[in-house]
Amino acid sequence: MSKNIVILSGSPRKGGNTDKLAAAFKDGSESAGKTVTLFRVADMNIAPCIACEHCFKNHGNCIQKDDMTQIIEALRNADAVVWASPVYYFTISAQLKLAVDRFYALVKEKTPIKRTALLMTCADDSIDTAEGAIATFKRNAIHHDWEDAGVLIVTNLHDKNDIENRKAELEQARNLGREI
């Protein structure tokens, strides 16, 4: 069971459905005595990976000095990482993708991360819309040798606060937070 969790929330819509789903997960985790650090990556200054491989020669330290530095440091102390994102054009948001691409700095470094989970919100009525995001998430889990602790996709959310009426899915997020 994880004790130190990092959540990366990639929605640019502050206080929207994705933030509320991530908050439910966080509440569940904290109610089980876990330490949770949540980063709203959409509000952060994160540059794209430039594939310079500076991190490979410098113990995972990126040449770019931006807000990703604090996320990498948190990941070095976490035993679980959770992605939270709306479905944007069949995958995760660009804001979350920037952070995920920068995980490259951790490839040669062994982190304590053992588990991962994916939380997504979607306007479409089918989880099939999230297949690209799920595939990206699962490949990352395999690549980093992280156990997939769960995927929760909440569909048919159109307005900013629609998830508030989805008590069962919010409880699923809380339960996943307790169990991870």
3-class DSSP state of 37: strand
The residues, any chain, with a CB within 8 Å of residue 82's CB and separated by 6 or more, are 5, 6, 7, 8, 22, 25, 116, 117, 118, 119, 180
Q: Give the integer Cα–Cα distance in Å for 128 and 53.
A: 35
pTM of the complete model? 0.96
Q: pLDDT value at position 175?
A: 98
Residue 86 counted as domain residue = yes
**Residue 78's pLDDT band (boundaries 50, 70, 90)?**
very high
33 CB burial (10 A radius; 0-12, 13-18, 19+): exposed
- Indicate whether 22 belongs to any domain: no
**Cα 13 to Cα 72: distance, rounded to the nearest angstrom:** 23
Name the residue range of residue 44's domain.
4-15+34-179
Mean pLDDT of 106-113: 85
* Domain-located, residue 27: no
Domains: count for the chain: 1
Establish if 117 belongs to a structural domain: yes
Torsion angle defined by CA atoms of residues 8, 106, 136 and 7, in that order, rounded to the nearest 10 degrees: -10
28 belongs to a structural domain:
no
Residue 141 lies in a domain: yes
The answer to whether residue 167 is domain-embedded is yes
Residue 161: pLDDT band (50, 70, 90) is: very high
Could you read off the pLDDT of 6-16 as tens digits, one per residue? 999 999 999 99
Q: Has residue 23 been placed in a domain? A: no
- Confidence class for position 60, pLDDT limits 50, 70, 90: confident
State the CATH number of the domain containing residue 111.
3.40.50.360
